[in-house]
Structure formats: structure tokens, C-alpha cells
Chain A
Amino acid sequence: MIRHASPFAPVHARSAFVGRVDPRLRIVAAVALSVLVALADRFAVLGSALAVSVLGLALSGLPWRVVLRRLLPLNAVMLLLLLVLPLTSGGTPWGRLGPLEFSWEGLWLGVAIALKGNAIVLVLLALLGSVDATTLGHALSHLRVPDKLTHLLLFTVRYLDVLHREYLRLRAAMKVRGFRPRMNRHTYRTFGYLVGMLLVRSFDRSERIAAAMKCRGFRGRFYMLDHFVFSRRDVPFGLTSLAVLLVLALMEWT
């Protein structure tokens, strides 16, 4: 038996203030705040948005270790940009190193990008980081996302774990036979066959699923079992989000 920890499980949140809010409301709030941050220019707005998303993160009860690990790759690139952009932007210099000139404009652009990127990623993490994918699919479906797209999402989510296990089984079989990845033709062909077999097995599985669904009278409609009810619990979150959005918009466009 292969020990298996699913990489696709949602992060477990300790407290659940955000987790109890209607997922539809969370999706709308995350989209609205992301778009606002993308459009904003003033540093006060970007800084406040980042602060708001950090606050949301604290309320979501996600473990900080997970959050920091997830932000690491993004911020590695951001650091690189902060070093490169002052060199490539041109404008008023604030320092030079030999022939290299560091400009203020580039630095500010880098800072703005870092703020925006982190705020947008954190908002998504805070509001939807602990939602499980099936709920996400149902919520999207209730938000009038086309049926076929949500069905596709639900199917993809449903079989991620199954196929990941299938993949681990194939990988274990390769290991048992002494396969060690190197940089040669044999390795690439073997990986090609691995992917190919994964697709073959998925295809066969999908045929069985389709047949089973047809047997049960599938007509292109899933009957959603999660019906979200907008309740009194959601009012504080909704009002706070609306207030935050309004204040940020006023700060930016007045």
C-alpha cells in the first residue's frame, strides 16, 4: 500500500469566521477586491488593500506556515523584479553602481507590483483558501457560470486525487524496476510513456464513468446538493467587504 497524502486537499483552517460565510459572497468579494487592486495606482490604496487581505487571512484561521510557504515563490520573483526594474526603467536616478543607474521610477513600479501581486494572491487565499473544490464548483454554478464549465471543474476535481494515486502507482512500478531520471533520451521516452499510460487509464476510466452515467439517465445536468442560503451570519462580512471596497475606491478616485 502506498502512503498517500493528497496534495489537493484544502488547507485546514483553525478558526472559521471566513469559512462560515456563504461561498458565493466570498467569491464575489475576492473578484471585486482583486480587480480594484489591479486598477489602483496610489500607494495608500495598495498598502491598505494588502493590510485588509492580511487581516482577512488572520480571520480565516489558515496556518501562517502554509501561507508563508505559498507566498515564497511569488516573492522570490518580486525580489528579482525589485532589483531589475530600477535598472530598466530610466528616470531620476537615486544611486549608481559603476555604469548601472538605479531609478526612482523603477523602484516605485517594483514596489507597486509587489504590493499588488501579494494583495491579490492573499485575498484569494484568505477568502477561498479553505473552501473545498466541490463547494467552489457548486458556488460557481449558483453564480451563473455556464453549466458545462462547472461540470468540467467538478469532474476535474473529482478525479485529481484518483489519478494522482494512479500516477504514484506507476511511479512506484518504475522505481521498483530501477528507473532513475537522468538527462537522456531514455528518461524522456520513459516519462512520455508514463504520461501516455496515465492518459490511457484516464480515458478508459472516463468511458466507464460515461457509461455508468448514461445508465442512470444523465442528461447533461447535475443536481446540486449544496444550496447556499444567504443568512444573517453573512451580513457582517458582506457589509464589511462593501465598506472596504467603497473606502478603497474613494481613496483611489477622489
Chain B
Amino acid sequence: MHIIEGIMAGTVHGREILAVGMAATAAGTALGLYKMDHERIPQVGVLSSAFFVASLIHVPLGPTSEHLVLGGLMGLVLGWAAFPAILVALLLQAVFFSFGGLTTLGLNTLIMALPAVCCHYLFRRAACSHREPVVFAAGFAAGATAIALAGLLNAAALVAAGESFRELGPLVLLCHPPIALVEGLITGSVVVLLRKVRPEVLEAPLLVPAAKEVLHG
């Protein structure tokens, strides 16, 4: 998920990829900022703060636990604003927790934000559906796709960086399916809840709960 500091700077191609990542992130962030008018800054700021806090949640996964990423959900809720939101979150992570340094900031933002924006375009319509299973499926697809795409981008960056990393790419890919599954299930539930409780977050109509429904199932 995260490309670790130093590894891409080890080879010439890796450095080129870092530069491409920085440029692409700069472009994406500029577009995200352009599309976000001043009225929405408090909203996007507080929501990205919430996403940051949510990413500290560890969910059990087999013998270990994984922390949430929620890229798909960020895409659905924030759209292009996911770029600046993720950039800020990663910068804060680097400063507060020393996860990653300054040179990987661009590439890591791209790896997470591009799938998020893709999910926005792919699954927003379905997430606004009036049928609960469709809404859940859209959330699941967004959560899982964001992780899968991020894994693919991550692996592709490693493979393109040089001969020595060629075997690492598939290794990185291998650990993503279970995470994608868990993220999908959680994102699905989140989207259903949001549609029933506060559909404005998704700028969608209220999903009327079925008769006699208990929300915790």
C-alpha cells in the first residue's frame, strides 16, 4: 500500500517514477483544490480529519490486524478533493508518526488518491440507488476496487523501478486481496448507514429503511 521511503530512490528509473508521482499529485491536487470552493473547506477539512482518525482503527484480519485505509469511501464522499485530503493526511503522518519521508509523498498520494477518484466516477451512481443491496454492493465495490487499484499501482511502480524489484511486485500484490475484501465489507456498511442516516454526506437521496428493520442486524 505504502511505498517505503528510500526504496524508489535506489534506482534511476525509481527516481523518474518519484518525479512522475510528484507531478501527477501536484496536478491532481490543483484540480481538487480548484473544484473545491471556499464554502466547502470546513467540510472537507473536518471529513479528512475523520478519515485520518478512521485510518487508526485496526480491524482483525486472520491472525493479525489491519488498519483501515478507506480510499474508496474518500472517493465517494470527497471526489477530486480526495487528492488534497490524502496529501495532507500523508504529510501529517510523515510529520507526526514518521511514516514515510518527503520524497515519497507525491508517489504515495498518487497511489491512494487516483484509485479513490476512479471509484468516485465508477460507483457514485450506484451508491445513490434506491435499493439497499445495490447501495451495499456499490460501497463494497468502491472499497475493494480502491485497494486493488492501489495495490496494482504500487506493484507497477516497484516493477518499473528496476530489475531487482521485479520479484517484489507480485509479492506486494499477493497481500492485497484479503485487505480489499475487508475494506469492501466495511465500506459497504458505511455507505448503507450514511444513506439512511445522513445522505447529505454523499449528496444522495435518503434511503428509506425497509419496514421493521433493526439497524444493527
A interface residues with partner B (beta carbon < 8 Å): 7-8, 10, 30-31, 34-35, 37-39, 70-71, 73-74, 77-78, 81, 84-85, 88-90, 105-106, 109, 112-118, 120-121, 123-125, 128-129, 131, 133, 136, 146, 148-149, 151-160, 162-164, 166-167, 181-183, 185-200, 202-207, 209-210, 213, 218-220
Contacts and interface: CB of A to CB of B under 8 A. Distances in A.
B164 A88 contact: yes
Consensus secondary structure, chain B interface: helix
B89 A156 contact: yes
21 contacts: A34-B102, A38-B9, A89-B164, A105-B164, A113-B9, A113-B10, A120-B103, A128-B95, A129-B98, A133-B95, A146-B30, A149-B87, A155-B44, A155-B49, A156-B48, A156-B88, A159-B49, A195-B57, A200-B197, A210-B42, A219-B38
Given A133-B95, A203-B47, A148 B7 contact: no
B41 A199 contact: no
Contacts of B137: none
A155 to B, nearest CB: 2
Contacts, number: 252
Given A109-B164, A124-B102, A195-B186, A220 B95 contact: no
Contacts of B190: 192-193, 195-196, 199
B15 A39 contact: yes
A152 B88 contact: yes
B41 A152 contact: yes
Consensus secondary structure, chain A interface: helix
Interface of B: 4-7, 9-11, 15, 18, 29-30, 33, 36, 38-39, 41-50, 52-54, 56-57, 59-62, 68, 70, 73, 77, 84-85, 87-89, 91-92, 94-103, 163-168, 182, 185-190, 192-194, 197-198, 200-201, 215-217
B98 A210 contact: no
Nearest to B37: A220
Top 7 nearest A-B pairs (CB, nearest first) are: A155-B45, A192-B189, A117-B6, A220-B38, A196-B193, A120-B101, A206-B46
